[in-house]
């Protein structure tokens, strides 16, 4: 039975900056948590991703478990799955790569054990990420002010449970805060009060008190955290980490920023600009920008050639054109020119353009796009 099983703490490493920084953060701040670090390998990651994994293992002092779909196959997980689908390749509408090669192997890895999964979504992001449909898996977001998942927040603020929440507050909130706490908890969500507004009011009354309420609800609702025999240390967490904090963690730890983020100069019409890859994931990921495909072409021509081999008449990785078309010198030049123009527009709309990688990524809307399991 679930209540007799030990809770497992797991943290997935995608190869991106945020999950790497979260692993460092958890080791530094919560060393007593026995966290299992894992990564799901598609067989099509960039070499820089594998180097990041090695760097992290050295810092963490423990192995990062390598999960691999179809591990009895002689082919890479991606190629094996693609062939079982008759050569059908993934796209933005059918992301079988994420489901089959990342999510399914993770759920097989944890089985039916009660699991707390730590996710590296930052405090300056407005997204939830992957939430498993399995009731035995609970997501926690240590970088955010609200560390709890949206499904649990809905239960905490359920209008039908207001009386139960008021009883808990009377028994657990200090007298100097109690009146205001009861006032906020007692107001039902409706036309005059949104869920987000009520949540914000509760958090503003004290993050520790809110976390203790959330923990109470999680336990009575049967979340995995209720199986913990020891106290959950993140209840007292008040940290909120944003992008600049992520870079500081990576740099100060010595793990380093993933090498594919490194800016590389190029020149067009006498103008100098820089490009880099903005995210982790497979080298042929269909979420890449045009300029990132040019980066791959010029910095990893062998991988670009491999990506081209997957294309066929009715499919191309890059929207509206094949990689063969994209790789033509005149098209490469056009993409670079368009990229430079776009950067100038952003510079004029916002602020003087910083040359720091952190600032470039903060200004990049595409950083918010993609599959959380691959890019966080």
pLDDT tens figures, 87-106: 888 988 889 999 999 999 99
Q: Does residue 93 lie within any of the structural domains?
A: yes
Say whether both 138 and 176 belong to one domain. no
Say whether both 64 and 104 belong to one domain. yes
Query: pLDDT at position 351, please?
Result: 54
Q: Does residue 194 lie within any of the structural domains?
A: yes
Say whether both 126 and 272 belong to one domain. no
Query: pLDDT at position 320, please?
Result: 85
If you ran DSSP here, which 8-state letter would residue 282 be given?
B
Q: Does residue 264 lie within any of the structural domains?
A: yes
Query: pLDDT at position 3, please?
Result: 61
pLDDT-based confidence at residue 372 (cuts at 50, 70, 90): low
Residue 184 has pLDDT above 50, yes or no: yes
Residue, of 50 and 359, whose pLDDT is higher = 50
Q: Does residue 214 lie within any of the structural domains?
A: no
Say whether both 323 and 289 belong to one domain. yes
Say whether both 80 and 94 belong to one domain. yes
End-to-end CA distance of the chain: 33
Say whether both 10 and 138 belong to one domain. yes
pLDDT-based confidence at residue 366 (cuts at 50, 70, 90): very low
Residue 370 has pLDDT above 60, yes or no: no
For 314-332, write each residue's pLDDT tens digit: 788 987 899 999 999 999 9
For 202-227, write each residue's pLDDT tens digit: 999 999 999 999 999 999 999 999 99
Say whether both 197 and 117 belong to one domain. no
Say whether both 278 and 172 belong to one domain. no
pLDDT-based confidence at residue 138 (cuts at 50, 70, 90): very high
Contacts of 174 (CB under 8 A, 6+ apart): none
Q: Does residue 77 lie within any of the structural domains?
A: yes
Residue 362 has pLDDT above 90, yes or no: no
Residue 357 has pLDDT above 90, yes or no: no
Q: Does residue 56 lie within any of the structural domains?
A: yes
CATH number at residue 53: 3.40.50.620
Say whether both 19 and 113 belong to one domain. yes
**Cα dihedral 225, 227, 228, 229 in deg (nearest 10):** 160
Q: Does residue 58 lie within any of the structural domains?
A: yes
For 231-249, write each residue's pLDDT tens digit: 999 999 999 999 999 999 9
Contact 187, 181 (CB under 8 A): no
Tell me the average pLDDT across 157-180: 96
Query: pLDDT at position 169, please?
Result: 97
Distance separating alpha carbons of residues 23 and 119, to the nearest angstrom: 10
Say whether both 177 and 312 belong to one domain. no
Contacts of 314 (CB under 8 A, 6+ apart): none
Say whether both 18 and 110 belong to one domain. yes
Give the structural domain span for 46: 2-149+219-253
Contacts of 346 (CB under 8 A, 6+ apart): 353, 363
Looking at the structure of the chain, the number of domains it has is: 3
Say whether both 24 and 144 belong to one domain. yes
């Amino acid at each position: 039975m679930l209540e007799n099983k030990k809770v497992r703490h797991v943290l997935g490493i995608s190869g991106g900056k945020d999950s790497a920084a979260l692993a460092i953060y958890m080791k530094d701040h919560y060393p007593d948590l026995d966290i299992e670090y894992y990564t799901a390998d598609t067989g099509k990651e960039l070499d820089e991703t594998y180097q990041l994994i090695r760097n992290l293992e050295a810092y963490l002092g423990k192995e990062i478990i390598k999960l691999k779909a179809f591990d009895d196959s002689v082919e890479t997980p991606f190629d094996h799955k693609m062939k079982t689908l008759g050569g059908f390749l993934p796209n933005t509408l059918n992301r079988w790569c994420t489901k089959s090669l990342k999510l399914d192997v993770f759920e097989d890895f944890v089985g039916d054990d009660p699991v707390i999964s730590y996710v590296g979504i930052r405090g300056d992001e407005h997204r939830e990420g992957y939430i498993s449909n399995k009731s035995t898996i609970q997501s926690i977001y240590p970088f955010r002010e609200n560390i709890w998942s949206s499904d649990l927040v809905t239960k905490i603020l359920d209008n039908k449970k207001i009386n139960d929440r008021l009883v808990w507050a009377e028994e657990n909130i200090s007298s100097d805060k109690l009146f205001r706490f009861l006032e906020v908890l007692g107001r039902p969500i409706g036309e005059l009060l949104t869920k987000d507004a009520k949540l914000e009011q509760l958090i503003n009354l004290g993050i520790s008190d809110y976390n203790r309420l959330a923990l109470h609800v999680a336990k009575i609702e049967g979340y995995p955290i209720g199986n913990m025999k020891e106290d959950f240390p993140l209840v007292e967490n008040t940290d909120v980490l944003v992008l600049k904090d992520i870079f500081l963690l990576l740099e100060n730890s010595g793990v380093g920023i993933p090498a594919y983020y490194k800016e590389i100069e190029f020149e067009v019409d006498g103008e100098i600009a820089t490009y880099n890859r903005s995210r982790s994931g497979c080298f042929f990921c269909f979420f890449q920008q045009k300029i990132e495909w040019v980066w791959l072409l010029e910095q990893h021509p062998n991988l670009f050639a491999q990506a081209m081999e997957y294309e066929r008449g009715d499919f191309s990785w890059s929207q509206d054109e094949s990689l063969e078309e994209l790789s033509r010198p005149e098209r490469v030049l056009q993409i670079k020119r368009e990229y430079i123009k776009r950067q100038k527009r952003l510079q004029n709309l916002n602020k003087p353009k910083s040359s720091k990688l952190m600032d470039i990524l903060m200004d990049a809307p595409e950083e918010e796009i993609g599959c959380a399991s691959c890019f966080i």
